[in-house]
Structure 1
Amino acid sequence: MNSVKAFAPATVANVACGFDIFGFAIEEPGDVVELSRRDEPGIVITSIIGDEGRLPRNAEKNAVTVVMLHLLKHLRIKDLGCEVILHKNMPLGSGMGSSAASAVAGVVAMNELLGNPLTREELLPFAMEGERIASGSAHADNVGPSLLGGFVVIRSYTPLDIFTIPVPEDLYCTLVHPDIEINTKDARFILRNEVSLKNTIAQMGNVAGLVAGLMKADYDLIGRSMVDVIIEPVRSILIPEFKEVKQAAISNGALGCSISGAGPSMFALSRGIDNARKAGEAMQKRFAEAGIEAGLHVSAINKNGAMVLAE
């Protein structure tokens, strides 16, 4: 195989109460990576489309290629030459798993080019290295669902223990991205290092409730459990109109609403696509009333994750 093209979808991480342990994929948007062999050894980024020139072109500093370098080192391949084209189809610093989508698309494309020596699960640690270079933390709650699809739970990071759980067929995500940017490193920096016992107990109850609600298709339980008493109160101050937008979603049929990843995107979960669209339009309208343009995506949970595209 001389060339390959791969797609990796956007994701919602944390999912309210599950900081760094919950994430799910949506259908679109997502990043696309084109990979072609070249005669000279080494990985070269020839083009990045859609980043307005902001991302590094150095292969050792970009999430899309760092994962490839780690994979090649693991497989002890030293003489491979590749040209990389990255199509950035989501904004940077959006809270939609932008860097994760690049990393996942990159590692899936390279694995395919090499004849798929590793399984999807085996590719996960390499994809996490893309997150490390982008945000300083090798968390898996974006790369996991982008790579594997579905609703992902990270039970442990040391050792890495990750699995997917079933979700109701009629569960839809509304993702609204206001036209502002929050740096993931900054959003992690403001978090507290210590949490009260009271809040820990409340958060554990919500985590258990959300997992049970998803697996039992209990929509009321899903809604009651989408409460974050630890991260959201701190990070929400970075998002203008957060409380008003959240209330708009819930008042218009959403089960619950919170911050997507590090923000500023906000997501809601709803029963049925009509409720999801209604909630999204209300969220968009509330941002607009504050003078903030916001993009809107409505999607079922993407159960497939990254995919290789036909040339």
Structure 2
Amino acid sequence: MKEIKLFCPATIANLSCGFDVLGLCLETAGDEMIVRKSDEKGVRITKIVGADLPLETEKNVAGVAALAMLEAYERDFNPITIGFEIEIFKNIKAGSGIGSSAASSAGAVFGINELLGKPYSRKDLVQFAMQGEKLASGNAHADNVAPALLGGFTLVRSYNPLDIIKIDSPEELYATVVHPQIELKTSDARSVLKQNVSLKSAIMQWGNVGGLIAGLYTKDYDLIGRSLHDEIVEPLRSVLIPGFDLIKQTALENGALGSGISGSGPSIFALSRGKETAEKIAKAMSEVYDNMSLPYEIHISQINPEGVRIL
């Protein structure tokens, strides 16, 4: 196999209570990518469609992730005598809060791994994709790249050493995501966060994380909903997102189990039981931004159980 075409899915990170440790993979939103072998050693980004992003390998998240993987491959296995070219077709806008950089990073390492004969597992690939996230935000977090590569929900139990648990989604769970057409950089959204939290807030957050994980395993939709509460990050970041409180309130009034900031924003997510409720929430969210005359995109999606996949 000399060339591979991929679907690189969008993701929702944090999921209210799980800052930097929880994420889920979306089925209907994502980028496409072509990765091919080349006679010229190294990694080259040859085409980007749909976004004004750097073609220079060291300045592109896909390039940085790919280089990290190839460096490890030469250390773990053999020197590489071939190179790789990457074409990226962006459908996820940068700064949207649904894992644009993660989709590119995950797709690059997945595609090269396939062309090399799959020397690494999907879980192994997360550590390389994290280097793309480090370039994008200054922090090598895994809460987007892990679900992008593994599918379903993922919990990052530990970063050192990296320990990731995949959790299958309840079958009827749907996500609705609205993206107001403003860009909010992850690095800027991180700058408003406090470095210390109160013990009272931490205890409440731990309870919600445990409750959400328990709800996913037991398919207890009500418990999932009760656990989608962020005591620490959302109060600080929500002020950066136009109409956040009204959008969240509207989602809950229309049947959402819970709602919150997707990643670092500005996208806002809602989880619901069943497609019909997800569509009802999407219509209500749309009306809020229509009334504000604020352009937006909206996605309705089941949870993607697979992650990055070959087209």
TM-score by length of 1: 0.96
| Residues 6 and 106, structure 1, Cα contact 8 Å, conserved in 2 | no
Of 58, 61, 66, the match for 2:59: 61
Of 85, 88, 91, the match for 1:89: 91
Per the alignment, residue 297 of structure 1 pairs with 299
Per the alignment, residue 73 of structure 2 pairs with 75
Q: Distance in 1 between matches of 2:38 and 2:163?
A: 37
Q: Distance in 1 between matches of 2:97 and 2:85?
A: 28
1:6-155 equivalences under 5 Å are: 6-51=6-51, 53=52, 55-76=53-74, 77-155=79-157
Shift of 1:60: 1.2
Q: Distance in 1 between matches of 2:85 and 2:166?
A: 33
- Aligned with 2:264: secondary structure? coil
Please tell me whether residue 278 in structure 1 is matched to residue 283 in structure 2. Answer: no
| More off after superposition, 115-124 vs 13-22 | 115-124
Q: Distance in 2 between matches of 1:193 and 1:211?
A: 25
Per the alignment, residue 5 of structure 2 pairs with 5
Q: Distance in 2 between matches of 1:223 and 1:70?
A: 38
Please tell me whether residue 164 in structure 1 is matched to residue 166 in structure 2. Answer: yes
Task: Work out the number of aligned pairs and report it.
Answer: 307
User: Cα RMSD between the aligned structures?
Assistant: 1.1
TM-score by length of 2: 0.96
| Residues 108 and 308, structure 1, Cα contact 8 Å, conserved in 2 | no
Q: Distance in 1 between matches of 2:222 and 2:159?
A: 30
Unaligned runs of 5+ in 1: none
1:236-255 equivalences under 5 Å are: 236-255=238-257
Shift of 1:78: 4.3
Shift of 1:65: 1.3
Q: Distance in 1 between matches of 2:237 and 2:296?
A: 19
Q: Distance in 2 between matches of 1:37 and 1:215?
A: 41
1:213-259 per-position Cα deviation (integer Å, ceiling 9, x unaligned): 12112111111111101000000000011000101100111111000
Q: Distance in 2 between matches of 1:225 and 1:81?
A: 46
- Aligned with 1:96: secondary structure? coil
Shift of 1:295: 1.1
| Residues 100 and 146, structure 1, Cα contact 8 Å, conserved in 2 | yes
- Aligned with 2:195: secondary structure? coil
Structure 1 stretches of at least 4 aligned residues deviating more than 3 Å after TM superposition: none
Q: Distance in 2 between matches of 1:101 and 1:122?
A: 16
| Residues 13 and 19, structure 1, Cα contact 8 Å, conserved in 2 | yes
